[in-house]
Amino acid sequence: MKKIAVLTSGGDAPGMNAAIRAVVRKAAYHGIEVVGINHGYEGFINGSIEPLDLGSVGGIIQRGGTKLYSARCLKFKEDAVQEQGIAKMREANVEGLVVIGGDGSYRGAMALVKKGFPVVGVPGTIDNDVPGTEYTIGFDTALNTVVESIDKIRDTATSHENSFIVEVMGRDAGDIALWAGLAAGAETVLIPEEEYNLDEIIARLERGATRSKKHSIIIVAEGVMAGSELAKLIKDKAGIETRVSVLGHIQRGGSPTARDRVLASRFGAHAVELLMEGKSGRAVGIRNHQLIDYDMTEAFEKHHESDVGLYTLMKELSI
Amino acid sequence: MKKIAVLTSGGDAPGMNAAIRAVVRKAAYHGIEVVGINHGYEGFINGSIEPLDLGSVGGIIQRGGTKLYSARCLKFKEDAVQEQGIAKMREANVEGLVVIGGDGSYRGAMALVKKGFPVVGVPGTIDNDVPGTEYTIGFDTALNTVVESIDKIRDTATSHENSFIVEVMGRDAGDIALWAGLAAGAETVLIPEEEYNLDEIIARLERGATRSKKHSIIIVAEGVMAGSELAKLIKDKAGIETRVSVLGHIQRGGSPTARDRVLASRFGAHAVELLMEGKSGRAVGIRNHQLIDYDMTEAFEKHHESDVGLYTLMKELSI
Amino acid sequence: MKKIAVLTSGGDAPGMNAAIRAVVRKAAYHGIEVVGINHGYEGFINGSIEPLDLGSVGGIIQRGGTKLYSARCLKFKEDAVQEQGIAKMREANVEGLVVIGGDGSYRGAMALVKKGFPVVGVPGTIDNDVPGTEYTIGFDTALNTVVESIDKIRDTATSHENSFIVEVMGRDAGDIALWAGLAAGAETVLIPEEEYNLDEIIARLERGATRSKKHSIIIVAEGVMAGSELAKLIKDKAGIETRVSVLGHIQRGGSPTARDRVLASRFGAHAVELLMEGKSGRAVGIRNHQLIDYDMTEAFEKHHESDVGLYTLMKELSI
Amino acid sequence: MKKIAVLTSGGDAPGMNAAIRAVVRKAAYHGIEVVGINHGYEGFINGSIEPLDLGSVGGIIQRGGTKLYSARCLKFKEDAVQEQGIAKMREANVEGLVVIGGDGSYRGAMALVKKGFPVVGVPGTIDNDVPGTEYTIGFDTALNTVVESIDKIRDTATSHENSFIVEVMGRDAGDIALWAGLAAGAETVLIPEEEYNLDEIIARLERGATRSKKHSIIIVAEGVMAGSELAKLIKDKAGIETRVSVLGHIQRGGSPTARDRVLASRFGAHAVELLMEGKSGRAVGIRNHQLIDYDMTEAFEKHHESDVGLYTLMKELSI
């Protein structure tokens, strides 16, 4: 393999730039050229590429977002369009592709794989919801952003003895909410993977109020319901006022944490190794603390599972 | 003066603890005792006090919120209630009071002053909207929180080439929005003190789109309208999609910046000096870079004005 | 088991408070009382204890340092002194102990175990050098502090085109240096576990100088040599000037990262479970991403090993 | 004026990029072209320029360091060399220059002014030691970096009940040390502008030790003496052990604070206005909270003075 391409797809995640950098540097180490594809699959089908050398990835390891831009590309589902993209790549002598993104991006990647174009996937999404890997690039940074935000909210919650509902990202996966709940010492966490019990939530709020602790933090993953909706449910059933804070898009940005930069570097470099070994349709991941690769299909056919042990611990510690 | 009290009132602001600490330490330096009043005027009328010594204010200079709690107290408007509070204080040999809060808190303070109880005001509010002083405690911290958040939002805005509307605090005052706009390099800022022009906002968005810069940040102070409302106006008139982020309560919390801690320390110490000099009904402030004191009435009778020079600069730099 | 104690020992690490909190809350969940022992083994032998309830561990999850203080205790090596401590504990009806600290602290703990007093160890040290566990409490926070510091140093290194040597903690273990090197994109990392080659370091510096990149970051773990010593070696051999920055004690402090808080919470809770199960002489750890417990002796008899894969990756990416 | 140049000189400071951006954008607003000069006066004499447009200064407002690089240039003192530089600039149709740097950089600027080349100075240095302006670009960021570092050191100082000496930047000016002392609640501060008293420092350490507070933070500006030297003096005279932390180069870097970005934006834009008005040999500054300009000579002929009021306050609050 003499020349490979790299693109980022789906929602951006802090650490994507570190992964791009690792792809370029690892490839350079082995004398392989790299081109960057802009705007995800959109750029793939248009052949919108630029050469990436050591200089192009200088000073990006600490930057949030993705220098290759990301975009959704609806028409990429069409066979003809995929073939057009592959043709463009072959024209440019690109022999393999690293796709950095979530499980949705893997689905697109597998279409290329089936058409004979070698692709390796790197899990990049703040939601930590790619089946088959314990962590994804961006999760650690997003988690710390959420925890730092809740630390701030707790300042004002304590000062005014208010209770707060904090809505965090996570449409199908509760990892951000659950980990943040543990790390920020929240009283209650609602995640998509577990049933919630409104009476229990209210009981907890009331228990706090009768003890010295008059403030309470409830974290709800957006996939369960909106924070404002939960506030209404609580108000209607128990007459308790809560304030709502929707953390929103700050969760996607920021300079990646050390952990995310290391993970991204390992994943990016491993993806290049896999392409060099002639592998395709594989996703890199971390399992049992070991760098692994596995069938990319697994990532979008299986379901992400939350860590039941953490959920139980959360409940016990928020006694 | 042998014994004074301190309370925090209104919305909490980072740096209030640093001000409390300065009151206690400056008083200790002069051999004056200090008691803390919990829950603002609520505690004043109930005589809910606790002695504060050097040890009680150890390790709080870097903490957000207020260790004395803050609360609104509607019944404090009544004459009888105010007199009851003064009686409680006199009973406890408290001879003067430092009130840390916004202009609303000053109003309550003046009622006590008129009844012969010495009070000095310290401006503590993130909104920077207390007339008579260039800065209030908490503004610098809130501003930095907003700017760091917008830096994060810009990461994802750039990566996806989206435009964002960021709603920040400021019901009557645009200082947070305006300063954050300058500091974060926003394209447009809407503040309560200045008329906005929807056509101009849209023209700016479209101009960006035709240049290489495809993302844009619009900051709107909550006092102008909700971020979601602005997004709708833009969508309806020009068909342009924007995403909305409401920063909310994270703006109130966090460890105070160096600037806020120094300002709070100076204000707190100066308030003690004023009480020692037998002054009452005075507010401390900073004007022309100098520590000053002025008639507290000024703070709630005049209107806060935004810095027209900054607003003009903002417009010129966001060309 | 009705009553247990907890102490922190050795160098303090961010997240120790989160572990203390988890011990108290997990115990409370099971109806077990907890006392805190101040000043490590010093307090153990003096019976310097205080009851810890839910209120005592409120608002500490985000605090650096340890609320139970830490200290070295030389005379704890003596048999009589250990027995005196055990007697004090039994007097106070304490039936078991959780020790949070490094492998040195485990050695002391094993002495108590051998005398029949149940102890469970929790690995708390920024160095990540406790054999038997993949991570220790505090490592992630220290790592992020180092990486953020190097990001800052790189700003000035780039602006002035200087090369910097950054000395970080790690007497016997290079984990901080190695991970920070990967995460900060350093050009060279020197760790105690691997031989360094001065000629190679110099060649790298010169290679950078001939390319467009005129600055370079070298990270050296204190266990290899002092930063100033390395600067002298380079100056003497190649005549190249470097600047030295010793990060020092800032690496021990700061609010723990989300990862450290979660790890600390899991470890603390698991330690309580082990004591409840009647186990003693066990250390908690994380291995293959799973919470485990193992013979505490292993932690101080084996040697910590660095991750060879990471070291190789570091070298390849800093091409 | 149709075309101007901008350069950064001396030690780099966070916010220099924001100032460069403001120069370019303000000039663009008025239809003036801008070129950037790389490597300070070195680039000036070599005519090392590059055009700067809106795109070139995109995304730099939040970056530390200076994208134009900075360097010392010894030969710039020579008349012939200065004239060579002016000739190069005139050749490139550059009609005026904005110099961002400290008072040393102003000295070079005045040489150009005397030779008829219009220059306006912008104070950029973390030391806050440019006479004639209350604040310089970079001071606020450096100050916050120092305060956050001391907050971390205090964690470990408290946990181990140690005393720490923290050496900070400031060869001739004590502003960083003094403000940081107030903001971090240090027990003692040594600045170049004020005599220190070793007996008093020791008395303070001993007083702390007899009270419950067993740790202490002493801040020393490098211009007074090295931290290690102070530690030796204390050890020799009183036998008290202290630990030393030298903050070093992390003080120069980092994303600028909101305050520094706003100040830099105002300064940069004002410098362009002055050049447009045909002014030369002027420095921009902030005095009495107002943007001003003054004779640049004042900046290097006068001495920076520390704020006596702050120093007194520091002493009183660290009772």
Instruction: Provide, as residue numbers in chain A, all residues whose Cβ is less than 8 Å from the Cβ of B212.
Output: none
Cβ-contact C125, C136 below 8 angstroms: yes
pLDDT category, C212, cuts 50, 70, 90?
low
What tokens appear for B205 in the block?
């968005």
Residue with token string 């611990």: A313
N- to C-terminal Cα separation, chain C: 57
The reported pLDDT for the residue numbered D76 is: 95
CA distance B42 to chain A (A): 12
Domains observed in chain D: 3-138+256-301 (3.40.50.450), 140-252 (3.40.50.460)
The reported pLDDT for the residue numbered D212 is: 67
Series of mean pLDDT values for 10-residue runs along chain B (319 residues): 96 97 98 98 95 95 96 92 97 98 95 98 97 97 98 94 96 96 97 95 87 86 98 97 97 97 98 98 96 96 89 94
Cβ distance B156 to A12 less than 8 Å, yes or no, reads: yes
**What is the pairing mode between strands C243-246 and C163-168?**
parallel
Cβ-contact C268, C26 below 8 angstroms: yes
| Ramachandran region, residue A286 (left: φ > 0; alpha: ψ -120 to 50; beta: rest) | beta
Strands ordered across the beta sheet of C33-37: C49-52, C33-37, C3-8, C96-101, C119-123, C282-287, C290-295
Cβ distance A61 to C255 less than 8 Å, yes or no, reads: no
Of the candidates D199, D208, D112, the one whose C-alpha atom is nearest the C-alpha of residue D163 is D208
Tell me which of C127, C129, C260, C293 is the catalytic residue: C127
Chain A residues whose C-beta is within 8 A of a chain B C-beta are: 8, 11-12, 14, 16, 63-66, 69-71, 145, 149, 151-156, 158-161, 164, 243-250, 252-254
pLDDT category, C210, cuts 50, 70, 90?
confident
Instruction: Provide, as residue numbers in chain A, all residues whose Cβ is less than 8 Å from the Cβ of C266.
Output: 310, 313
| Interatomic CA distance for residues B128 and D312, integer angstroms | 27
N- to C-terminal Cα separation, chain A: 57
Tell me how far CA of residue D147 lies from CA of B26, D143, D177, D305, in angstroms. 21, 6, 10, 22
Tell me how far CA of residue B21 lies from CA of B5, B43, B106, B269, D183, in angstroms. 12, 19, 20, 9, 11
The reported pLDDT for the residue numbered B212 is: 67
Catalytic (active-site) positions of A = 127
DSSP D65-124: S-TT-----GGGGSHHHHHHHHHHHHHTT--EEEEEE-HHHHHHHHHHHHTT--EEEEEB
What tokens appear for B18 in the block?
């640093």
pLDDT category, D211, cuts 50, 70, 90?
confident
DSSP D136-183: -BTHHHHHHHHHHHHHHHHHHHHHHT-EEEEEE--SS--HHHHHHHHH
- Residues D207-232: what's their mean pLDDT? 90
% of chain D with per-residue pLDDT over 90: 92
Torsion sign, CA atoms C138, C144, C148, C153: positive
Instruction: Please compute Rg for chain D using Cα positions.
Output: 22
What is the average pLDDT value for chain C, to the nearest integer?
96
What is the CB-side half-sphere exposure of residue C49 using CA atoms within 13 A? 25
Cβ distance D151 to B262 less than 8 Å, yes or no, reads: no
pLDDT category, D207, cuts 50, 70, 90?
confident
pLDDT in tens, C13-41: 999 999 999 999 999 999 999 999 999 99
Helix axes D308-317, B16-29, angle to 10 degrees: 80
Please list the residues that pair with D192 across neighbouring strands: none
DSSP symbol at D252: G
Cα–Cα–Cα angle for B83, B2, B114, rounded to 5 degrees: 30
| Predicted-complex ipTM score | 0.96
Give the helix/strand (H/E) hosting A293: strand A290-295
| Interatomic CA distance for residues D265 and D276, integer angstroms | 17
Of the residues D61, D139, D211, the best mutation for testing chain B's interface (the one with the most B CB atoms within 10 Å of its CB) is: D61
pLDDT tens by residue, chain A, 319 residues? 999 999 999 999 999 999 999 999 999 999 999 999 999 999 999 999 999 999 999 999 999 999 999 988 989 999 999 999 999 999 999 999 999 999 899 999 999 999 999 999 999 999 999 999 999 999 999 999 999 999 999 999 999 999 999 999 999 999 999 999 999 999 999 999 999 999 999 999 998 777 767 789 999 999 999 999 999 999 999 999 999 999 999 999 999 999 999 999 999 999 999 999 999 999 999 999 999 999 999 999 998 888 889 999 999 999 8
Cβ distance D156 to C65 less than 8 Å, yes or no, reads: yes
DSSP B85-125: HHHHHHHTT--EEEEEE-HHHHHHHHHHHHTT--EEEEEB-
The reported pLDDT for the residue numbered A319 is: 84
- Residues C55-76: what's their mean pLDDT? 94
% of chain D with per-residue pLDDT over 70: 100
pLDDT category, C71, cuts 50, 70, 90?
confident
pLDDT category, C225, cuts 50, 70, 90?
very high
pLDDT at C131 over 90: yes
Cβ distance B179 to D258 less than 8 Å, yes or no, reads: yes
Q: Cβ-count burial of B44 within 10 angstroms (0-12 exposed, 13-18 middle, 19+ buried)? A: buried
Smallest Cβ distance to D316: which of B26, B59, B211?
B26
Taking CA atoms, what residue in C is nearest to A265? C182
Chain D residues whose C-beta is within 8 A of a chain C C-beta are: 8, 11-12, 14, 16, 63-66, 69-71, 145, 149, 151-156, 158-161, 164, 243-250, 252-254
Residue D63 in marked binding region: no
pLDDT at D319 over 90: no
Cβ-contact D139, D176 below 8 angstroms: yes
Tell me how far CA of residue D307 lies from CA of B193, C68, C128, D287, D314, in angstroms. 35, 39, 45, 14, 11
Cβ distance C316 to A21 less than 8 Å, yes or no, reads: no
Give a three-class secondary structure readout of C152-171.
HHHHHHHHHCCEEEEEECCC
Residue D73 in marked binding region: yes
Smallest Cβ distance to A160: which of B12, B244, B245?
B12
Instruction: Provide, as residue numbers in chain B, all residues whose Cβ is less than 8 Å from the Cβ of A247.
Output: 250
pLDDT category, C208, cuts 50, 70, 90?
confident
Displacement of CA A22 from its chain's centroid (Å): 18
What is the average pLDDT value for chain D, to the nearest integer?
96
Taking CA atoms, what residue in C is nearest to D162? C71
Of the candidates D258, D251, D247, D285, the one whose C-alpha atom is nearest the C-alpha of residue D124 is D285
